[in-house]
Amino acid sequence: MHSISKDTLSQLKNMALSLDLPEDDYKHHYFLSPLQLNKRSKLHLKLSLLIDKYVEETRGGRGGTQLEELRHHWQWILLGLCRALFMNNWLVVSLRKQTYADDIWLKRYQIKYSKVKDIVGYLNQNELITFLPGKQFFNKPSRTRIYPSGTLAGEIWEYFLDQEQPVEGPYLTINETDDIWQETMFKVKADESHPDMEDMIAINEFIKPHHWACKAPIRLVYKHSPFQGGRLMTPFQNLPDRRKRIRINTQIDSQPICEVDFNANHLRLNLAFNAKEYAGETPYEDICVESGVASRDMVKHFITVAMGASDEKSGKSRLRLDGMNSQVIESIHDGALKRFPKLQLFNGWGIFAQNFEGQILKDVSLEGIKEDIVCLPVHDAVAVQQQHQAWAKEVMLETWSRYMDGVKTKVKVDMPSV
């Protein structure tokens, strides 16, 4: 099925197990979805026997259709926990019956309350998961979060590279709120007249026969409005790569990958669009020098928050909540404007940066279709087979410059560690 050896996959598993429990925030939540093994996988029988064991323990008085539904739910949850392990994310499930009548995704995927309740209860009772119960949060119910124990991880890790979510619509969705604890995170906008619909159908039709880790649809997710802030999203991008280099050591169609990354992308977009200005070779480092703050990561975080905030008061309050003291905040603010006087901060411009980023990566993916090259979106980068890195660099630079009226940018290539 894939050319990564079992020893290498075991090393990726050890990386995943060496990570602490995920942080309990929306960035580390993965929602239950229907997962299956690729039809060419050699692990179908092994997974079937594992599911048989757990179904027998939880079948109760079920038979016929009910028993078959239980089997499907065990498959989805076991493969979901496997995916959660390698993502270092909590698998989010609901143990609140009403949610299954309200949530458009649960209804679309035909995920049933009684099956989830019995499976999660069994896993928790037998200490096969870490269990964080749902609770009331700002008068809204949150969902239960689960994560595999070491014992369960030992039974499910082999399925990581062979599992996939069927590539099917909707490919355009909208996140209408900032409330990360809402019961329904996305609402579907199925308007076929949306200008991005045809492109997203083309991208997903192209990727269907290909294979990669955490295979799933690529969706264009808008924030608040179906015409602003659209970002390309797919579970592959949630695999760890800084703390442990899991994502970069996976493959596309059994070939090693690299990631071609726009450098300081939102900062460069801001300057290019608003001032027709090239940000230089090392914009974050330049701000470090001007502000007297040595930490590039701290400067980058300031710029990200300052571009996303709608006003200076709320933005700086957010930075203080993130642990940055007022003196450092003011030093970076002054240094950023000294180096880039036309930089637009604290006016909500981040949503426009997200929109440009999404459109640029979408166009790069469409160019890839013409050359039979799979491009997987990874925030402000694309993952491609290593043999296509020169092509990706050229197309990304050309596409970005076209959107920014001829202003240049920079890209860098990240390769797996030897």
How high is the pLDDT of residue 1? 54
Q: Is the dihedral of CA 250, 253, 255, 259 positive or negative?
A: negative
Quickly state the pLDDT bin for 196 (edges 50, 70, 90).
confident
The answer on pLDDT for 90 being more than 60 is: yes
Tell me the domain boundaries of the chain.
6-166, 280-339
How high is the pLDDT of residue 416? 92
How high is the pLDDT of residue 187? 43
The answer on pLDDT for 227 being more than 90 is: no
C-beta of residue 329 within 8 angstroms of C-beta of residue 316: yes
Quickly state the pLDDT bin for 407 (edges 50, 70, 90).
very high
- What rounded mean pLDDT belongs to the chain? 91
Greater model confidence, 195 or 354: 354
Greater model confidence, 182 or 302: 302
**What is the mean pLDDT of the segment spanning 174-191?**
46
**Comparing 21-30, 73-82, 198-207, 257-266, which segment has the lowest mean pLDDT?**
21-30
The answer on pLDDT for 150 being more than 50 is: yes
Amino acid at 386: Q
Most distant CA atoms of the chain, gap in Å: 72
C-beta of residue 210 within 8 angstroms of C-beta of residue 196: no
Coil, helix or strand at residue 412: strand
H-type alpha helices, 245-325: 265-275, 283-291, 296-308, 312-321
Quickly state the pLDDT bin for 228 (edges 50, 70, 90).
low
How high is the pLDDT of residue 184? 33
Quickly state the pLDDT bin for 312 (edges 50, 70, 90).
very high
For residue range 52-75, list pLDDT tens digits in order. Answer: 999 999 999 999 999 999 999 999
**What is the mean pLDDT of the segment spanning 362-368?**
98
Quickly state the pLDDT bin for 7 (edges 50, 70, 90).
confident
The residues with which 91 forms a beta bridge, in sequence order, are 30, 146
How high is the pLDDT of residue 173? 85
How high is the pLDDT of residue 25? 87
**What is the mean pLDDT of the segment spanning 29-37?**
95
C-beta of residue 98 within 8 angstroms of C-beta of residue 159: no
The answer on pLDDT for 229 being more than 60 is: no
**What is the mean pLDDT of the segment spanning 178-182?**
40
Quickly state the pLDDT bin for 179 (edges 50, 70, 90).
very low
**What is the mean pLDDT of the segment spanning 235-241?**
96
For residue range 208-217, list pLDDT tens digits in order. Answer: 999 999 999 9
**What is the mean pLDDT of the segment spanning 244-269?**
96
State the Cα angle at 109 between 196 and 101, rounded to 5°. 105
How high is the pLDDT of residue 181? 33
For the chain, give the percent of residues with pLDDT over 90.
82
**What is the mean pLDDT of the segment spanning 274-301?**
96
CA nearest to 166, candidates 265, 284, 38, 80: 38
The answer on pLDDT for 189 being more than 60 is: no
